[in-house]
Structure 1
């Protein structure tokens, strides 16, 4: 017969075992469920990563190491001088040809007046030099006629002397008359020698004069050209006291004030051409294998965030890495060499219309995404835009030539 006390103690133990078994089963079930969820999460993440790489990353090269660059035109004087007036301030907008700085022009104006007077004097002297040619030619013709006359006189004196010698044998001519005829013959010979000497002197003088005149026309005479060149230089110096903007843009880095003495070539200020900006994107070397000229690019500026997208194209790829053109290039032939991924600058041209709508500034950070799957087509719109050439220098030279010609025409109207 069983013991009631033992049966009572075994019943709770069986219930505890059943509870423990149920708890362990629930744990296993939860563990399996968690593993399934983890596996599903990993699969979803892998699928999402594949989709992202396939549709959004593959075929694109992107970088945040990109900054806005632009043409910075330096404003420098071409002559020494003192700043008399200053018409711009920092960050001011200027138009092409607008007056920026005015230098004191008293000294250069006085020099211009002196050179104009010297040019007029040289033109008059040259005119007299050319007029002297005719006078020397006439003088040479006169000496030639004197030689002919002296020769004729010598022939007459010789004939007279020979007749008297023949008549003296018959006593028809006295000794004194013969001596007179011989003296006349000697004088005729002396006159001919003097006339020939004078002719040679006049001929040498004419040759020397023609050497000075040369084969040039009066306007092309070296003396006039030299004086005209000095006058043009003085004329340009007066005009160069007005320093004008060669391009349109914004004033930056102004270093001068009124009354300051500046030297030729000194950096007065800079003009930033804001409508010709570009982006220099520094791509890693392993990103360059698929980048080609002409490929389109999308750009985002930190200034505007994702609210505005700039359209651009690859206009150029740098000839070397940034480290290769650094002021202190890396020296890799050392024992403690560490490989570093190099970056190459890529020139991204921006759309001028978008720049006008959403202006940028030099140095701003950009994000660049190049579509490497797109066909690379190089067009004129995707080439680097150089700064427009300043035509004012050529115009000044033309005006200086006109001023010099006006003085020459006034003083030398008969020259050709």
Structure 2
């Protein structure tokens, strides 16, 4: 290729044809630079002023997560699982059946408790009827005492007669008017009368003691039958056992304690579970809240009751949730870690801590756009309102 001569743009003819403008003077360029620098400084100052006036009344964090007071479903009685009518992700209402256990043993326990209650009632009726028999025994013992006292009176009269006969014969025996044999007979009769009198007196005491025992038995019986039948200790205990058996039977059907969504179901039909074993969890998404972890330097103006603007990563910035601050955690997350930080060491480096702030969500917003536990949120607190 042949060489081409370079164009001389400084030639007057060339400049006339292409109309090349001469370079601007240095003073003009300096003014433009100063104008641009001043404009940039003005924009920066305006931004800083806007931030101080507007964003200075807000603190925000993206370290926030949805949480809820979930309910752990645990049966209160042991048994084999007969039916599980719910599955994970299913929405349930309070009182809906979540789990059924085999209730055959529980029904037998109710039948035994009912039989024990009937037996206790019959025993109470029998005890009450025994009271009449014991009262009659007291009357019989009173009659025995009367009879013993009469016998004692007879024995006492016989003793006096025998004593008098023995005294006369002993006087006559001294004068020789009667024989020694007759005196011996009189003495024997007197001794026998003394023995009969002692026996009669003992019989009276025995009859009195028997009557006392009969009265004690009657009093003990009356203590058992006082008041209505349901206040009897045996009957009351039988009723308590029946109530417990019926309660255990009712507990073979496990119902939802709250409204929510079933999650983490861990039980299958045919599985035998113990009382208190975790079977599933109910998450109350209608009452979910947010735990926002703010830096400690952001919390100087945060107060309970301040409004909060929240955005969920699930729905994006187009869906805004309204909330309010309802409380602060009792400590930072690191303070309750499994292995807390040992800040007393000489190599300690200060790390900015975060404190969980509890934020309640507007129920209307939750109904319109439901959330799930663990979802990420962005929270912005308006600290201008206290």
TM-score, normalised relative to structure 2: 0.82
CA contact (8 A) 1:105 1:238 kept: yes
| Cα distance change of structure 1 residues 143 and 268 upon mapping to structure 2, 3 Å threshold | same
Displacement, 1:217?
A: 5.4
Displacement, 1:291?
A: 0.8
Residues 7-46 of structure 1: matches in 2 within 5 Å? 26-27=25-26, 29-46=28-45
Residues 242-253 of structure 1: matches in 2 within 5 Å? 242-253=253-264
Displacement, 1:190?
A: 4.1
- Structure 2 residue aligned with 1:82: 80
CA contact (8 A) 1:130 1:218 kept: no
- Structure 2 residue aligned with 1:191: 203
- Structure 2 residue aligned with 1:126: 124
Give 3-state SS (helix, strand or coil) of 2:61's partner.
strand
Query: How many pairs does the alignment contain?
Result: 351
Residues 7-406 of structure 1: matches in 2 within 5 Å? 26-27=25-26, 29-54=28-53, 56-163=54-161, 165-166=163-164, 175=186, 185-206=197-218, 209=221, 213=224, 218-375=229-386
| Cα distance change of structure 1 residues 28 and 335 upon mapping to structure 2, 3 Å threshold | farther
CA contact (8 A) 2:333 2:355 kept: yes
Displacement, 1:357?
A: 1.1
Greater Cα radius of gyration, structure 1 or 2: 2
Structure 2: gaps of 5 or more residues: 1-21, 170-181
Give 3-state SS (helix, strand or coil) of 1:328's partner.
coil
Displacement, 1:164?
A: 5.1
Give 3-state SS (helix, strand or coil) of 1:289's partner.
coil
Displacement, 1:278?
A: 0.8
Give 3-state SS (helix, strand or coil) of 1:280's partner.
strand
* Distance across 1 between alignment mates of 2:331 and 2:226: 57
TM-score, normalised relative to structure 1: 0.76
RMSD: 2.8
* Distance across 1 between alignment mates of 2:82 and 2:365: 40
* Distance across 1 between alignment mates of 2:143 and 2:355: 89
- Structure 1 residue aligned with 2:11: none
Structure 1: gaps of 5 or more residues: 1-21, 376-416
